């Protein structure tokens, strides 16, 4: 869904912060693999602000998100060859109009690594957790470990997704994990991690074990008692009903 909307030349608003004051400007962005890429200048105000405070926010076409700004360095560097080729194709209408000096090593690529966002499409809201959009890298594992340690220390979570949103209404559901699932499990107990049918089976098993631990034999349970037949009833002195 994000690729269809943003995997091309887009105008997005990029917000940075300096000394507690927010700054925002429009930039051309290209989306790929949970990140936006922007061609910019390393000595610009936004890059100086990102260097001191990498936390940024973006907005565009019914989509808002938070992220981390990373300077990938010179546009023509060998390490940026693949993404530079994609940016040239996406920005081909204006990239060679003289605005950019690619011989200047300060002409760089800004990567905005998205962390969480909100997308609206056809009247539906999607709360997106980008850390679980794909199999975790070591960087994502370190961030997850840090978040979990903070949750254990504080005793409650403050996940990226908003409460009240169904996990099936999140794009992170396809990888089987989300902060929403973890928060629901922590609030409602271990049973929240099981489907209803499994919870019923666990309840029956626990009841059975509880009765055994109390010394109650299964032979004494009401369901295990046999109903006396006519012959046994006559032997005990109780009148047996005739078949006539």
Q: Are 65 and 128 in contact (CB under 8 A)?
A: yes
Q: Which two tokens stand for residue 114?
A: 């998205």
132 alpha carbon, distance to own chain's centre:
5
**Which pLDDT does position 167 carry in this prediction?**
38
69/110 Cα distance (integer angstroms)? 7
Residue 232: pLDDT above 60? no
Please provide the DSSP assignment of 195-218 as one string: -HHHHHHHHHHHHHHHHHHTT--G
175/177 Cα distance (integer angstroms)? 6
**Which pLDDT does position 200 carry in this prediction?**
72
153/141 Cα distance (integer angstroms)? 18
Q: Are 195 and 202 in contact (CB under 8 A)?
A: no
Q: What percent of the chain has pLDDT over 90?
A: 50
**Among candidate residues 29, 49, 50, 51, the one with its CA nearest the CA of residue 39:** 29
Q: Which is more confident, 168 or 108?
A: 108
73/105 Cα distance (integer angstroms)? 8
Distance set, CA 123 to CA 38, 63, 120 (Å): 29, 13, 6
Confidence of residue 152 (pLDDT cuts 50, 70, 90): low
178/170 Cα distance (integer angstroms)? 9
DSSP 3-state assignment of 59? Answer: strand
Confidence of residue 203 (pLDDT cuts 50, 70, 90): confident
Q: Are 107 and 75 in contact (CB under 8 A)?
A: yes
How confident is the model over 81-121, as pLDDT tens digits? 999 999 999 999 999 998 899 999 999 999 999 999 999 99
Confidence of residue 201 (pLDDT cuts 50, 70, 90): confident
Q: Which two tokens stand for residue 168?
A: 């099936």
Cross-strand partners of 239: none
Q: Which two tokens stand for residue 30?
A: 């290209």
134/171 Cα distance (integer angstroms)? 11
Q: What's the average model confidence in pLDDT over 12-21?
A: 95
């Amino acid at each position: 869904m994000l690729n269809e909307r943003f995997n091309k030349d887009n105008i997005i608003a990029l917000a940075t912060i300096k000394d507690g004051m927010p700054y925002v400007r429009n930039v051309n962005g290209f989306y790929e693999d949970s990140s936006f890429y922007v061609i910019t200048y390393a000595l610009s105000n936004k890059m100086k602000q990102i260097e001191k405070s990498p936390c940024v926010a973006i907005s565009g076409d019914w989509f808002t998100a938070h992220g981390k700004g990373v300077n990938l360095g010179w546009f023509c560097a060998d390490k940026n060859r693949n993404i530079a080729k994609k940016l040239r194709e996406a920005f081909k209408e204006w990239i060679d109009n003289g605005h950019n000096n690619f011989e200047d090593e300060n002409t760089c690529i800004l990567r905005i690594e998205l962390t969480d966002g909100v997308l609206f499409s056809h009247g539906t809201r999607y709360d997106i957790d980008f850390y679980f959009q794909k199999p975790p890298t070591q960087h994502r594992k370190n961030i997850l470990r840090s978040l979990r340690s903070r949750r254990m220390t504080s005793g409650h979570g403050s996940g990226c997704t908003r409460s009240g949103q169904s996990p099936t209404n999140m794009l992170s559901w396809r990888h089987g994990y989300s902060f929403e699932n973890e928060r629901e499990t922590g609030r409602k107990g271990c049973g929240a991690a099981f489907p209803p049918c499994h919870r019923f089976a666990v309840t029956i098993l626990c009841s059975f074990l509880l009765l055994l631990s109390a010394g109650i034999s299964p032979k004494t349970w009401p369901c295990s008692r046999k109903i006396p037949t006519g012959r046994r009833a006559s032997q005990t002195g109780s009148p047996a009903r005739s078949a006539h």
